[in-house]
Amino acid sequence: MLIRRLPSLPDWTASFRDLYDVRREMERIFDTLGGMSAVRNPGVFPATNVSESDESLLVRAELPGVRPDDLEVTVEGNTLTLAGKRETLTESEGVSFHRREREWGTFRRSLTIPVRVEADKVEARFADGILTVELPKAAAARPKQITVQAGA
């Protein structure tokens, strides 16, 4: 008989973190192999990069040519939604096109935030075609330095 011991299930956030660690390790290996990048096309616009600092989670998306007024960023519970549109060219009449590669249209994407954040302190900035959403972590989700006290 085969007896397999299951480790106690880690909490949800920690399991995500493990996945990220695996991913990072994979990226590192790919990088050393030949500069291959391990980016994953999400299939949904816009592609986002997520990073974290001690204080906050940062979500970035490349949205060149989108006007800030046409952008809609919402946080509800642990879901961040990025929506908006990119207008097509206005001067499409009376001109002859040589190339037309730039995308246009509407988009909407929701992301699940893996840590608790302070929804009322979320900030969105748009500069040079890059949207940065900064989600401050809730106090409980921030790393804490524990001072070790010498025993009496």
Contacting residues toward other proteins, per CB under 8 A:
20, 23-24, 27, 37-54, 57-58, 60, 62-68, 70, 72, 83-89, 91, 94-107, 114, 126, 128-130
Judged by beta carbon, residue 20 or residue 121, the one nearer other proteins is 20
Report which of 107, 101, 62 is spatially closest to residue 86, judged by C-alpha positions: 107
Could you give the CA distance from residue 68 to residue 133 in angstroms, rounded to a whole number?
13
Judged by beta carbon, residue 75 or residue 84, the one nearer other proteins is 84
Q: Supply the minimum distance, in Å, between the C-beta of residue 66 and other proteins.
A: 7
Q: Supply the minimum distance, in Å, between the C-beta of residue 6 and other proteins.
A: 26
Report which of 4, 118, 15, 7 is spatially closest to residue 57, judged by C-alpha positions: 118
CA 151 to chain centre: 44
CA 140 to chain centre: 21
**Torsions phi, psi of 14, nearest 5?**
-65, -35
Judged by beta carbon, residue 40 or residue 144, the one nearer other proteins is 40
Q: Supply the minimum distance, in Å, between the C-beta of residue 10 and other proteins.
A: 17
Q: Supply the minimum distance, in Å, between the C-beta of residue 124 and other proteins.
A: 14
**Residues 147 and 139 sit within 8 Å (Cβ to Cβ):** no
Judged by beta carbon, residue 8 or residue 41, the one nearer other proteins is 41
AA letter at 150: A
